[in-house]
Homo-oligomer: A and B are copies of this chain.
Amino acid sequence: MNRRDETINIHKVASAAGVSPATVSRVMNHPQMVGAETRRKVTDAIRETGYIRNRAAQAMHGRRSATIGLIVPTVDYAIFASLVQSFGDKADELGFTLLLASHGYDLGREYQILRKFLEHRVDGVALIGLDHTEDSFALLASQRTPAIAVWNHDPASRLPSVGARNAEAGAVAARHLVALGHRRVALLFPPDTENDRARLRRSAVLSVLDAAGIEVPPEYHATSYYDIAPAKAAATRLLDLDRPPTAILCGNDVIARAAIYAAAARGLSIPGDISIVGIGDFQGSADMVPALTTVRIPATRIGAEAATRLIDMIVSDHHPEDTGVGGCEFPVELVPRDTTDVPKEASERKEPTQGRPSTVDSV
């Protein structure tokens, strides 16, 4: 249909429609500025020639590139999958195209990706979490590129942040276990050197436990990557201790799922023998058997809101350092389900507070 190396540009469309290139451009960008009849002719010409506008040339002129970047630690393992999905959908809906990359929890790589995105002249960038290298902050400032921090929220953040208070999420989970009467609580968290979310959750958990007079011995501190296999192994080590914990508080739902498998493999009943609590309320946690007690962080809503706000900053020409574009906090919420109960010792003395068919619970 199209002859070889005959790439159709705005001039071709213009002559096909019998107007000037300027008019074609206006039809596409400011339709109300052009007469109805001319508009129709141009639209027809665009369709007939099969013209595809060149956003690169458009962006070069200093106009928006209509792209936004999202940089996540990882796409795998459902942690950020929901966020990527909803962020991308919203961006799409608002006419933007998503550039995506992951840095594998390496903030140095995050900087490199950020640079690359800026080379492509993204109109804005969303980063996960509040911690970034000084280089990254400087780069963003020097380019005056709108940027937003997603997932965690802190009003004092250097970037407007859209997300939940991760410290609060940890605290809520800890308070739940304390309220149930657990005193032997183990922590199973990912390494938190380059992960402010995990760090905040973990330290909040520790201070709640400390305030309740609960000490967490060194052997109750377990670490594992966001991956089922190693988390299961780490949980198994906790369960095999001479004096095992009565509850395991997990850094997120994926790790909690691994802990459930570890307990099941050891033939332990949940929550009879061991209580397990996650953080995140990922897809599927509600429908697992046993259903996971967790702290909800509304990933889908956060993703959509983050995209909306970032694009709002872009179209209204707000820059990061401008005030008045503060973040947005999503409340965290305990979702008590079937993997937590009073500890065994306590339940031998008092009545169980919740009764459910034990066959299901023990699964």
Question: A228-278: which have CB < 8 Å to B?
Answer: 228-229, 232, 254, 257-258, 260-261, 264-265, 267
With contacts A289-B264, A363-B363 taken as known, whether A88 is within 8 angstroms of B60 at the C-beta atoms is no
Instruction: Bits for A59-85, please: 1 = Cβ < 8 Å to B, else 0.
Output: 110000111000000111110011011
Interface presence of A179 (CB below 8 A):
no
* Complex Cα gap A74–B257 (Å): 23
State how many residues of chain A have any CB contact under 8 Å with chain B. Answer: 65
Oligomer copy total: 2
Tell yes or no: A18 within 8 A of B by CB.
no
Answer yes or no: A32 CB below 8 A from chain B CBs. no
Closest to A77 in B: B283
Please indicate the chain B residues that have their CB under 8 angstroms from the CB of A59 in the complex: 56
Give the interface centre of A121, A254, A288 by most chain B CB atoms within 10 Å: A288
* A102 proximal to B (CB < 8 A): yes
Chain A residues 325 to 353 lying within 8 A of chain B, measured CB to CB, are none
Q: Given the complex of chains A and B, what is the CA–CA distance between A85 and B50 in angstroms?
A: 33
Shortest Cβ distance from A287 into B: residue: B228
For residue A75, which residues in chain B have a CB less than 8 angstroms away from its CB? 75, 81, 84-85, 88
What distance in Å separates the Cβ of A264 from its nearest Cβ neighbour in chain B? 4
